[in-house]
Structure 1
């Protein structure tokens, strides 16, 4: 039961930090000339008006949910290791922020 509780706690923190990372980096993208890295992605980013394949929707869901699920898995594994929780949490925070920052730097317009 301890592992489930820690997993749920980490999942909640992961969802909150994922949302905050996306909001902060989206605000940052309005101030900088994006994309910082020149890529050849298609020009249509509106999923309402553009054709998006099932694989595209899969990537969208994974982009939103994967970091939070990684937090939940880390919480499950860290339930009995009290000494390394802070290091794991810091690593997860940095990894999540870098994940979203690299996405916006490479793709977002």
Structure 2
């Protein structure tokens, strides 16, 4: 299970690094930020499966989820095509609308 996560992570890093070489290392881009938040979220969820009562990590996970949700909402308003491709690459569900 853990090896597949790192294989997926490495493939996303190579995809994003190829795009970034074209853009002169744009680490502040919304795509890169969402990608790094997604990696943190996946790491924290695997940690919380082992340590169910780690409430500090649960709080950190909720904070990171909120940041990623706000970035995705911003990207969906600004550029729907980039939003759809990013969600497809990272295998993220589209948030429910109210």
TM-score between both structures, scaled by the size of structure 2: 0.39
More helix by share: 2
Structure ranking higher on relative contact order (CA contacts 8 Å, 6+ apart): 1
TM-score between both structures, scaled by the size of structure 1: 0.36
Larger radius of gyration between Structure 1 and Structure 2: 1
